[in-house]
Chains A and B, each alone.
Chain A
Amino acid sequence: AQKVTQAQTEISVVEKEDVTLDCVYETRDTTYYLFWYKQPPSGELVFLIRRNSFDEQNEISGRYSWNFQKSTSSFNFTITASQVVDSAVYFCALSTLSSGGSYIPTFGRGTSLIVHP
């Protein structure tokens, strides 16, 4: 069975601090896809990044960076110099091939990030 663990339920930081959100996944599949989504207080989920299991390159996008390590089954997300607008719930998701032949995502429980001014 597939599983995504986001052990940090809530993180509270002060603006300009760096913060890392952890994501650990479990799957026996060799082909899978990992995602991060942001859910701000408004409620609408926003896609941030996608990674496939064969691409371990880390990625940086502005203040956001992602570290994918297959050896530890982790796909961590770092926000550099956090801002109040980063306050949101962040979800990590894992998509694997189901018995029905389609890729089905499993979401972690989410990490609530609160950035104080």
Chain B
Amino acid sequence: SAVISQKPSRDICQRGTSLTIQCQVDSQVTMMFWYRQQPGQSLTLIATANQGSEATYESGFVIDKFPISRPNLTFSTLTVSNMSPEDSSIYLCSVGGGKYEQYFGPGTRLTVT
């Protein structure tokens, strides 16, 4: 298993601004994942972040809107750019995955006004 922390835990942001979410893992991992969970909904994979390479985005998500950094094997950031109220969600990072179980961070609850 892995222990994952996220910052901030929650934020309220103005429309048009950007927020960077940090994800820290207590061990080195190859792949990290970023998910969005809209209120009362399931988890939707935004992108997969491998250290040393560009993130791989899922259909419907683009780098300009959700730029991701992965500077080392224990850390990643997701930026939500030019926010609108539709971006109000919980954003989760996770490790593991693929064939194996995932371990999730506590999430960042974002409200855009």
Segment touching B, from A13-21, A66-74, A77-85, A104-112: A104-112
**Complex Cα gap A33–B109 (Å):** 29
Bound form: Cα–Cα A102–B90 in Å: 25
Is B56 on the interface with A (CB-CB < 8 A)?
yes
Closest to B48 in A: A102
Pick the contact of B107: A44, A91, A107 (CB < 8 A): A44
The count of chain A contact residues (Cβ–Cβ below 8 Å) is 20
Q: Is the CB of B97 within 8 A of A105?
A: yes
User: Which residue on chain A has the smallest CB distance to residue B106?
Assistant: A44
| A35 contact set on B, CB distance < 8 A | 101-102
**Chain A residues within an 8 Å CB radius of B60:** none
Q: Is the CB of B101 within 8 A of A45?
A: no
Question: Which residues of chain A come closer than 8 Å to B44, judged between CB atoms?
Answer: 107
* Chain B residue nearest to A50 in the complex (CB): B101
Alpha-carbon gap, A105 to B99, bound state (A) = 9
Chain A, residues 32-69, CB within 8 Å of chain B (1/0): the string is 01010100000111010010100000000000000000
Which residue of B90, B92, B97 contacts A95 across the interface (Cβ within 8 Å)? B97
Beta-carbon contact of B101 and A47 below 8 Å: yes
Q: Contact check, B48 vs A43: say whether CB atoms are below 8 A apart.
A: no
Interface centre among B43, B97, B106, B109 (most CB of A within 10 A): B43
Name the one of A37, A43, A91, A104 contacting B90, with C-beta atoms under 8 angstroms. A43
Cβ of A22 to closest chain B Cβ, rounded Å: 15
A109-B107 in contact (CB<8A) = no
Complex: A109 Cα to B40 Cα, angstroms = 9
Q: Is B66 an interface residue (CB 8 A)?
A: no
